[in-house]
Amino acid sequence: MISGMTYLNFVGGKWVPSESGATFENRNPANTDDLIGLFPDSTIGDAEGAIAAARHAFESWRLVPAPKRAEILFKAAHLIATRKEEFARDMTREMGKVLDETRGDVQEAIDMTYFLAAEGRRLHGQTAPSELRDKFAMSLRQPIGVCSLITPWNFPMAIPSWKIIPALVCGNTVVLKPSELAPLSSINFVKVLEEAGVPAGVVNLVTGGPSVGEILTTHRDVAVVSFTGSTAVGKLVNQNAAPFFKKVHLEMGGKNAIMIMDDANLELALEGCLWGGFGTTGQRCTAASRVIAHEKVHDRFVEGFIKRAASLRVGDGLDAATQMGPSISEKQLQKVMSYVEIGKQEGATIARGGKRLTSGPHAKGFFHEPTVFTGVTPQMRIAREEIFGPVVSVIKCASVDEAVAITNDVIYGLSASIYTQDINRAFKAMRDVYTGIFYVNAPTIGAEVHLPFGGTKATGNGHREAGLASLDVFSEWKSIYVDFSGKLQRAQIDTENI
């Protein structure tokens, strides 16, 4: 394992340092003695250089036949698959989630790349009859231009792939700015694209913080901004891009709920809540941070859930025995701890956990006990705000209608689920919960790449990532009419004598 390597930006097909020469450190959140590497602390000038390279490359890439663009992407998918284990280990080291999960993250990038590369031979449009004689009508997808892609740290290879691959297959060029907390996985992904033969300037990568993100959202040569991150930053991105009429795609925070009815298979629900609540240390946009349990099964659920949460092995994700890793950073851990205090002050009960772990194997990382709050009411902040850590709030309900109302009564709308054996309740909840994703008898996490992914309300702005829906973010419809009558025909005015 190489420790403390110096990494570079990728601009116009070359690996280059920041023009300032400045770098920032990235350390392993499970052990801060472990320096992952130094990454360019890019300037606005670096970002402008990357945008210029993407702008230049667009003129030729948009004309490469889509099936040929796809061939390069298929090759990239294959290359990632051959390096899955190496990439998963790098990812666990840089952002902490356990190896099983980082393997899943890399697998998601492989799946997404294969799935959307196949669109190179489809990218279907429509043909339609014209209302006029001897006239042909069709619509087709056209590429848009330079796409700025701004990504978070919790799915550091999957999320870049969700954006880069549909952008490229549609004929756009991109500038990626990964989170400063997990840039290595993006670099690994981009290196594979380079090796697969993506031409110079088509994919560019600049590492750095908010100032790099800001120029990527306002620069006049950027046509599309695709952002995944917190709702607070997403709002800024939207405001910054709005005066320039850029196409903006936002995937933001969540406060997802699992509803457990009195007829639920409780063992199954317990397993689902553990995975949904504490998988990725609760740092998933789709994390099940609320459990809404029917009063008839509430106590039995809490008893089982506490036991299971207590048995989770917390530690370094590289250790095969570990079930839950650290928070990503000291700042994120402090946020978790502050919400634990808020919950106590609001009158909720800590049924399990509640403390930072600081000794032995936890001494050099950002570890926290899996924490369960009971006696939570829907109005408490711990039931309404995104904590993004290993904290689950259990709320009691008396009916499916009440559970649905509580689920909907937050600003977010990403994912929700219901555990029940009653098909009527399942369908009612499926219809009435206003989220972008819904599960029956499964937790709130587990999306597959070929279906649209995204949320309602403060989680998204109406676009979707993944699935064929992602093509709508990265292409624009052009409707084309070909008149072969040899005379002027006026739609809506000339009448047709039959």
Which residues have a catalytic role annotated?
A: 251, 285
Residue 161's closest CA among 122, 188, 134?
Answer: 188
Residue 91's closest CA among 391, 82, 100?
Answer: 100
- What is d(CA 59, CA 392) in angstroms, rounded to the nearest whole number? 50
Q: Which residue, 113 or 217, is less far from ligand NAD as judged by CB?
A: 217
Q: Which residue, 74 or 244, is less far from ligand NAD as judged by CB?
A: 244
CB of 285 vs ligand NAD, minimal distance in Å: 3
Q: Which residue, 39 or 61, is less far from ligand NAD as judged by CB?
A: 39
- What is d(CA 316, CA 323) in angstroms, rounded to the nearest whole number? 9
Instruction: Please report which helix (H) or strand (E) contains residue 310, including its range.
Output: helix 298-311
DSSP 229-293: S-HHHHHHHHHHHGGGT-EEEEE-----EEEE-TTS-HHHHHHHHHHHHHGGGG-STT---EEEE
Q: Which residue, 9 or 217, is less far from ligand NAD as judged by CB?
A: 217
Contact 228, 473 (CB under 8 A): no
CB of 319 vs ligand NAD, minimal distance in Å: 25
CB of 302 vs ligand NAD, minimal distance in Å: 26
Residues in touch with ligand NAD (CB under 6 A) = 150-155, 177, 179-180, 209-210, 213-214, 217, 228-230, 233, 236-237, 251-254, 285, 386, 388, 414, 455, 459
| Helix 158-169 with 99-117: angle, nearest 10 deg | 10
Q: Which residues of 331-368 are buried (b: 16+ CB within 10 A; e: fewer)?
A: ebbeebbebbeebeebebebbbbbeebeeebbebbbbb
Q: Could you give phi then psi for residue 451, rounded to 5 degrees?
A: -110, 155
- Write out the E strands in 274-407: 290-294, 349-352, 356-357, 367-368, 371-376, 391-397
Query: With left for phi above 0 and alpha for psi between -120 and 50, is residue 399 left, alpha or beta?
Result: beta
Q: Which residue, 120 or 460, is less far from ligand NAD as judged by CB?
A: 460
CB of 211 vs ligand NAD, minimal distance in Å: 8
Please state the length of the chain.
498
CB of 225 vs ligand NAD, minimal distance in Å: 9
- What is d(CA 109, CA 120) in angstroms, rounded to the nearest whole number? 17
| Helix 158-169 with 184-196: angle, nearest 10 deg | 30
CB of 409 vs ligand NAD, minimal distance in Å: 18
CB of 306 vs ligand NAD, minimal distance in Å: 26
Q: Which residue, 177 or 219, is less far from ligand NAD as judged by CB?
A: 177
Contact 143, 62 (CB under 8 A): yes
DSSP 9-24: EEETTEEE--TT--EE
Q: Which residue, 55 or 219, is less far from ligand NAD as judged by CB?
A: 219
Q: Which residue, 233 or 418, is less far from ligand NAD as judged by CB?
A: 233
% helix, strand, coil for the chain, step of 5: 40, 25, 35
CB of 253 vs ligand NAD, minimal distance in Å: 4
CA end-to-end span of the chain: 77
CB of 250 vs ligand NAD, minimal distance in Å: 8
